[in-house]
Structure 1
Amino acid sequence: MRIPPFAFRLLYRMRRVYCRIAKPTTYGVKALIIHPVDADRMLLVQHSYGDQSLWSLPGGGYKPARETPEQAARRECIEEVGIELDSFALVLEEHLTSTGGKWGHLKIVRLHAVSDEIKPNGEISEARWVAVNLTDPPGDSPVSKWVHSTLEAHVGRPFAK
């Protein structure tokens, strides 16, 4: 059963209110997915909630007692974009964030796709393979700061924004 995009928007708003009140500590992952044939291409997504114009990396939350960041990144990618991934995963970066009234532990994980077929769920409004150097950005929409940070970690040098 496919969950409609409006449900994700409603849950997103409810979660923001909860975070402002409870100020929880959260754990999240974002995934840099490398194309299966062309290592100079990666997957970017636009979510159906939040800033819907922003191109970002797929990902989501996890519970450290239940799964590792690598397992969570793999699960989120399968859920969000229905993509098949190889078994190797690497944590590229770790960040401590404090946005939306909560403390967050964010890990960026690099994964390699086995297939370039993308099957987005209702959480993702669009997904697209783009050049790692962002020379072919998807339209005029902005790219998340996490994409830029991740690319710096991936290529091992500062990335021009």
Structure 2
Amino acid sequence: MRHLRLPAPILRVIAPGMRLWWRIRKPRTFGVKALLLHPDGAGRFLAVRHSYSDPTRWGLPGGGYKPTLETPAQAAAREVAEELSLVVPAGAFTVLDTVVTTLEGKHDTLTILRVVAPGEHVSPSPELAEVRWIEDIRELESAPVSRWLMTAVAHLSSP
């Protein structure tokens, strides 16, 4: 399944209008976020900054999907391939959490998954402003961090 990908400058321009539309219409949406663990097993994970919406905020790769067409794991595999050029089988993903949020004005069911990356080399799409392998969120200096990245990392330290 192929999704329409708009260039980052266009996404930056239309993002505020999309959020306003979501607040008015309150659509039901589904999304995924993928926590990629470094393949060396040393506890590092990948943080990304998207080039649209809030490009200063660190978060996780991911995006929307239609549950009638793909599972959260299939969507995460697709998003990781599109955003980072990493091929990860959907069966390799493990669900960390599923939350329902109305943060952006829509009724969004978000699934956070984790997977060990098949390699450390990533090739970011224009949708990403920056990617960084880190061990600790404090390495991101004083930049804002998405609540989904915080949630995923909290699952790493819980038993």
**TM-score exceeds 0.5:** yes
Is residue 48–residue 128 contact of structure 2 (8 Å, CA) maintained in 1?
A: yes
TM-score by length of 1: 0.87
Worse overlay, 18-27 or 106-115: 18-27
TM-score by length of 2: 0.88
1:127/1:20 Cα in 2 relative to 1: closer, same or farther (>3 Å)? Answer: same
Question: What residue is the counterpart of 2:30 in the other structure?
Answer: 27
Report the structure, 1 or 2, having the larger helix content.
2
Report the structure, 1 or 2, having the larger strand content.
1
RMSD (Å), alpha carbons: 1.8
Counterpart CA distance in 2 for 1:154 and 1:85 is 20
- Equivalent residue pairs, number: 154
Counterpart CA distance in 2 for 1:83 and 1:143 is 23
Identity of aligned residues (%): 40
Worse overlay, 83-92 or 63-72: 83-92
Question: What residue is the counterpart of 1:144 in the other structure?
Answer: 146
Cα offset for 1:39?
A: 4.1
What do residues 105-125 of structure 1 show as CA deviations (whole Å, max 9, x unaligned)?
Answer: 010000111111111111110
Counterpart CA distance in 1 for 2:14 and 2:63 is 13
Counterpart CA distance in 1 for 2:87 and 2:42 is 16
What do residues 46-81 of structure 1 show as CA deviations (whole Å, max 9, x unaligned)?
Answer: 011122111101111011000000110111111112
Q: Which runs of 4+ in 1 moved over 3 A?
A: none
Counterpart CA distance in 2 for 1:11 and 1:81 is 23
**Which residue identity does 1:156 align to in structure 2?**
S
Is residue 11–residue 53 contact of structure 2 (8 Å, CA) maintained in 1?
A: no
Q: Any idea what SS the aligned residue of 1:8 has?
A: helix
Q: Any idea what SS the aligned residue of 1:120 has?
A: coil
